[in-house]
Amino acid sequence: HKSLLPWNHQHTTHNHNTMIAATTISRMASSQAPKVLRLRLAGNNTTSQVKNNNYMKRYFSDKTKEAANTTAKESTSSSTAATTAAKEEAKKTTWWNNTAWWGTAGAMAGWGMSGAAIYDALESSPELISLNMTGVLLVYSSLFARWAFVVKPQNLLLAGCHITNVGAQMNQLRRAVEYKKENGKDDEVDDIMKKAGATAAAGAACVLGGPMVQSALVNANLGFVSSIA
């Protein structure tokens, strides 16, 4: 009789531990598992812990796959909606309100201006060059070359034509200055160079100080003026 006591004690301890483990799993599942699973765990605390663990793993694995499939479907639906909206917007766009079309047309026209300056440098006499107009074109093309490069999307065709025009007008300016100096018009050249320096300084000030002035006008709440800025 005494020899049976250790076995009885071990058997009782094993059953007690099994019941505690099953109860713990049941409590953990009560907050996340569905009612059917909670009833299964709580209905028989002596059920094998291994079976319950496997059942729990299958349940939560299925839930994880279901959540992943739902997320994938929502992502696909969102992408499809965005694509559809883009196609609808493209259908409404015509050449009249297409910024890409007008940007390309403006760049092609700009190349005509650059080509004219190159043609004049090759064929026309320097005495025909207007230094005032040359200076204006230099400032104009410098500003628009920068604008075409920083605008989004970039208009590299337009930037290229204005950069070319800057080079062509600089060559025209050189030809005109050399011609006037050769013909004793140094005073006229000095006057033109002073005006060109003042114009260049004003242009640089506009480029460098423009963002600060714009920000100040916008934050000043001046109504129509702030809205334009």
Q: Residue 91 above 80 pLDDT? A: no
Beta carbons of 224 and 163 less than 8 angstroms apart: no
Between residues 53 and 169, which one has the greater pLDDT? 169
User: What's the mean per-residue pLDDT of the chain?
Assistant: 76
Report cis status (omega within 30 of 0) of the bond before 211: no
Over range 130-149, report the average pLDDT.
87
Write the pLDDT tens digit of every residue in 73-83.
Answer: 777 777 777 77
Q: Residue 90 above 70 pLDDT? A: no
Write the pLDDT tens digit of every residue in 185-207.
Answer: 888 888 877 877 887 787 778 77
Report cis status (omega within 30 of 0) of the bond before 153: yes
* pLDDT-based confidence at residue 72 (cuts at 50, 70, 90): confident
Other Cβ atoms within 10 Å of 33 Cβ, number: 20
Q: Which residue's entry shows tokens 């279901």?
A: 66
Write the pLDDT tens digit of every residue in 11-47.
Answer: 444 455 555 555 555 555 455 555 545 545 554 555 5
Over range 169-180, report the average pLDDT.
91
Asked whether the whole model's pTM tops 0.85, one would answer no
Query: What burial class does residue 200 get, using C-beta atoms within 10 Å of its C-beta: 0-12 exposed, 13-18 middle, 19+ buried?
Result: middle
Tokens representing 68 are: 């992943």
Distances in whole angstroms, Cα of residue 148 to Cα of each of 8, 120, 142, 144, 158: 91, 25, 10, 6, 6
